[in-house]
């Protein structure tokens, strides 16, 4: 006797069942997550699902979707499952070697672009580029810019390079592996240096949300004992790599902005810093110009 035929699924009931399942497990935005995972399996845009609610799915599609759902229930971030993350106008590919770009970082790009408007043929550096989010957004939105990007992780750089090729920006964005500004010693001359460095206090790493702690690279998160290691180092190092009055622009963690602004000022290289809040009102981006005489 043959076994029972597998249940066939139409798109809408499968989405509804999955979002109920996600809701019962307290996942945020359960319907949205169910849709994004299914859109990925079917290689559709999410909104296109709405035109196909009665489409019948093949057993292979249902199996692939169930595998996505299982991974999500194990806590794998949605972007690592689909391999994609949106950042400003870009669709980046991501994997567990790179931090998933965050909306807060879009504010850093905004501050940088405002400054670059006034600079002819700007030379730009992104330190700790991860997926390439900052470097590639700046190259895309400021077509006159030539951009360099560095990271200590060669796996992250491989992903960033692939993104640059995919977005057809590789001719204006170059990548180097190394510790902070080391690849440019003895000195570069950038109009703008941007960085979203690791800034989580070491003692807080264990208490991070599980999907961050267990899946995102610790190299991208660990900011040392007080979370400020990278700011201290950049405040001491970045001045000579900037053109006179060039701008250093840094993303900071909640509660770090004043300390980072003070570090920059104490270095003697920078004019007083400006601080820009994110959309939640948290001071998020600290920027300071190199003193002309420094
Ligand atoms: C918070 S992530 C930011 C990634 C990306 N810029 C973004 O905003 O999505 C910090 C990045 O710094 C890199 N990193 C950590 N230590 C570094 C070092 N000493 N020198 C250069 N990059 C470093 C990590 O590998 C990681 O990609």
The finding on whether 156 has its CB within 6 A of some atom of ligand 1 is yes
Question: Coil, strand, or helix at residue 17?
Answer: helix
Q: How many CB atoms lie within 10 A of CB 74?
A: 11
Q: What is the spatial distance between Cα 66 and Cα 38, in angstroms, rounded to a whole number?
A: 9
pLDDT reported for residue 292:
81
pLDDT reported for residue 5:
65
CA of 98, closest atom in ligand 1: 27
Question: Coil, strand, or helix at residue 242?
Answer: strand
Q: What is the spatial distance between Cα 144 and Cα 277, in angstroms, rounded to a whole number?
A: 27
CA of 221, closest atom in ligand 1: 1
pLDDT reported for residue 7:
79
Q: What is the spatial distance between Cα 93 and Cα 95, in angstroms, rounded to a whole number?
A: 7
Cα dist from 249 to 135, 139, 180, 245, 254, whole Å = 13, 16, 14, 12, 16
Q: What is the spatial distance between Cα 68 and Cα 79, in angstroms, rounded to a whole number?
A: 11
Could you tell me the two tokens for 108? 């850093």
Gap from CA of 240 to ligand 1 centroid (Å): 21
Query: Which residues have CB under 8 Å from 111's CB, separation 6+?
Result: 249, 276, 285, 287
pTM of the model: 0.95
CB 262, CB 254: distance < 8 Å: no
The distance in angstroms from the start CA to the end CA of the chain is 85
The finding on whether 151 has its CB within 6 A of some atom of ligand 1 is yes
Q: How many CB atoms lie within 10 A of CB 110?
A: 15
The one-digit pLDDT tens for each residue of the chain (294 residues) are: 445 666 789 999 999 999 999 999 999 999 999 999 999 999 999 999 999 999 999 999 999 999 999 999 999 999 999 999 999 999 999 999 999 999 999 999 999 999 999 899 999 999 999 999 999 999 999 999 999 999 999 999 999 999 999 999 999 999 999 999 999 987 779 999 999 999 999 999 999 999 999 999 999 999 999 999 999 999 999 999 999 999 999 999 999 999 999 999 999 999 999 999 999 999 999 999 999 876
The finding on whether 250 has its CB within 6 A of some atom of ligand 1 is no
pLDDT reported for residue 73:
96
CA of 130, closest atom in ligand 1: 27
- For tokens 């600290």, what's the residue? 286
Question: Coil, strand, or helix at residue 285?
Answer: strand
Instruction: Count how many residues are written for the chain.
Output: 294
The protein residue whose alpha carbon is closest to atom 18 in ligand 1 is: 179
Question: Coil, strand, or helix at residue 238?
Answer: coil
Domain-by-domain residue ranges, the chain? 9-74, 87-289
Same topology, domains 9-74 and 87-289? Answer is: no
Could you tell me the two tokens for 30? 């359960």
Q: What is the spatial distance between Cα 72 and Cα 68, in angstroms, rounded to a whole number?
A: 6
pLDDT reported for residue 3:
56
Residue 252 φ/ψ, nearest 5 degrees: -130, 160
Q: Which helix (H) or strand (E) holds 126?
A: strand 123-127
User: In CATH, what number does 9-74 get?
Assistant: 1.10.8
Residue 203 φ/ψ, nearest 5 degrees: -70, -15
Give the residue, out of 97, 152, 160, with the most ligand 1 atoms within 8 A of its beta carbon, to mutate for a pocket test.
152
> Given 3.40.50.280, 3.40.605.10, 3.40.50.2300, 3.40.50.150, which CATH number is that of 87-289?
3.40.50.150
């Amino acid at each position: 006797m043959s076994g029972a035929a597998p249940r066939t699924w139409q798109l809408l009931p499968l989405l509804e069942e999955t979002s109920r399942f996600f809701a019962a497990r307290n996942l945020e935005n359960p319907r949205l997550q169910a849709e994004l995972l299914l859109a990925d399996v079917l290689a559709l845009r999410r909104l296109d699902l709405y035109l196909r609610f009665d489409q019948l799915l093949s057993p292979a599609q249902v199996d692939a979707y169930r595998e996505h759902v299982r991974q999500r229930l194990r806590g794998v971030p949605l972007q690592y499952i689909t391999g994609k993350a949106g950042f400003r106008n870009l669709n980046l590919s991501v994997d567990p070697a790179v931090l998933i770009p965050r909306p807060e970082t879009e504010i850093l790009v905004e501050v940088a672009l405002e400054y670059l408007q006034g600079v002819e043929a700007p030379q730009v550096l992104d330190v700790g580029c991860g997926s390439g989010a900052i470097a590639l957004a700046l190259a895309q939105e400021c077509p006159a810019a030539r951009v360099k990007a560095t990271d200590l992780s060669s796996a992250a750089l491989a992903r960033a390079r692939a993104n640059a090729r995919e977005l057809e920006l590789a001719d204006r964005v170059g990548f180097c592996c190394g510790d902070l500004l080391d690849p440019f010693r003895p000195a570069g001359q950038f109009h703008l240096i941007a960085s979203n460095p690791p800034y989580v206090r070491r003692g807080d790493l264990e208490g991070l949300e599980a999907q961050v702690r267990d899946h995102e690279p610790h190299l991208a998160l660990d900011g040392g004992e007080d979370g400020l290691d990278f700011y201290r180092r950049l405040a001491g190092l970045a001045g000579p790599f900037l053109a006179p009055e060039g701008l250093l622009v840094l993303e900071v963690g909640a509660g770090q902005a004043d300390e980072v602004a003070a570090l920059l000022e104490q270095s003697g290289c920078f004019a007083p810093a400006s601080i820009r809040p994110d959309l939640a009102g948290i001071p998020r981006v600290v920027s300071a110009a190199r003193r002309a005489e420094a």
